[in-house]
Structure 1
Amino acid sequence: MTPRMIRIDRAVTLLVAILLVALGLLMVDWHYRWVFGTYPTELSTGPAREVVTAGWFPWALAAAGIVLGFLGLMWLLAHLRRRGPSTLRLRTSDETGRVQADLRSIADTSGGRLESMAALTGVTGTVVTIRSRPVILLRGRVDPVASTASITDAAEICTRDLAAAFPDQAITCRILVDSPRRGKARQQSNVRVR
């Protein structure tokens, strides 16, 4: 998700929370009459019935449903995990030519190297975009007999190699180590190196 989408999510969540708390407080006050002493004893559905039976109401309801459905679809699509860029233009590019790094190949190679150095299985390397920057994400499962020190050392070597390859910090590396498959161990181990 983009930082803008995260801010929108937080604002909408805050607004919904405030509305729900206000509705809950109104219901409590309706029962105990602490703030507003009087409430009507009977409610009339006449005005609502007039609106619902109007000729324009089905069309307005259908249009509102289409708009809300479209907004909901846009909201869901904005929350899908976006793959990062496949290439990165390096600073050595100039008017004579463009120099690019193939990020997906770098991610695959880094994943294979991490798996060969540490007791990890099924290491995959992908490119994701986090805060508008490409990040090499390496993810694998820990072997139940692996030591934390060997995994940490391998993670540090991989991140140090990527930092040396891109000294301008155009790319960062994140390593996630998941627990073994079910039945082998229950403990989750996460090693995050940036």
Structure 2
Amino acid sequence: MTALVGLVLVTLGVLGILWWAGRLGSVPTRVDLSAIRWWPRQQWWPWALGLAGLILVLLGLRWLVAHLPRRGISHLSLPGSGPQGRLHVAAGPVVDATADALARTPGVRSARGRIDHDRGQLVAHFDATIERGADLRTVAAAADAVTGELQAALERQDLTGLVQLRTAGRNRAMPRVY
């Protein structure tokens, strides 16, 4: 959208320069504004400008709200929902419990998750911070396990897991077990 607006503004600027230089051929070199010069002297003019400004502000706010990041899904329908009733589960606590299970894996400092629709598919996103010396095989196995447990708990085989790992900036002191 920004590129389109920029292209339109550049085109208008080039056309303005060509018009000013008289290079547009049959286009008049002067613009006659006598038909609308009386508008600013009318009583309705400030109200019309105010209304136009308000409409532009509301359109801008609508555009901004449409581009806010979407939060995850709050409720999921469970299998067995039918015309007699619906079975729903709050996704937040289930995903939080799954992220906590991933965070209990050795080498994982913290984890958090959410469920949302991504390109028409139900996806569980997990962001985990791991220690620098973490065993990636152990972390990957734990990520697969918790994703499978989440699918089983929600009875949703169409749920895909996506785990993003970040390495911690520095290792923290881990408790020693004797």
The residue number in structure 2 matching 1:56 is 44
Pick the aligned partner of 2:123 from 126, 129, 135: 135
* Distance across 1 between alignment mates of 2:16 and 2:109: 55
Superposition map of 1:95-174 within 5 A: 98-117=86-105, 119-131=107-119, 134-165=122-153, 166-169=155-158, 171-174=159-162
For the pair shown, the structure with the greater C-alpha radius of gyration is 2
Distance 1:160 1:62, change over 3 A: same
* Distance across 2 between alignment mates of 1:138 and 1:128: 11
Alpha-carbon distance, 1:151 to partner? 3.6
Distance 1:47 1:34, change over 3 A: closer
Q: Structure 1 counterpart of 2:115, which letter?
A: V
% identical aligned pairs: 29
The residue number in structure 1 matching 2:176 is none
The residue number in structure 1 matching 2:56 is 68
Q: Which has the higher helix share?
A: 1
The residue number in structure 1 matching 2:175 is none
Greater alpha carbon shift after TM alignment, 155-164 vs 102-111: 155-164
Residue correspondences, number? 169
After superposition, the CA RMSD in angstroms is 3.7
Matched, 1:20 2:1: no
Unaligned runs of 5+ residues in structure 2 are 172-178
Cα deviation, 1:140-165, whole Å, max 9, x if unaligned, reads 32323335444433333333333455
Q: Structure 1 counterpart of 2:111, which letter?
A: V
Unaligned runs of 5+ residues in structure 1 are 1-11, 186-194
Alpha-carbon distance, 1:133 to partner? 5.5
Distance 1:44 1:85, change over 3 A: same
* Distance across 2 between alignment mates of 1:107 and 1:156: 14
Q: Structure 1 counterpart of 2:15, which letter?
A: L
Q: Is the 8 A contact 1:82 1:129 kept in 2?
A: no
Q: Is the 8 A contact 2:78 2:156 kept in 1?
A: no
Distance 1:28 1:102, change over 3 A: same
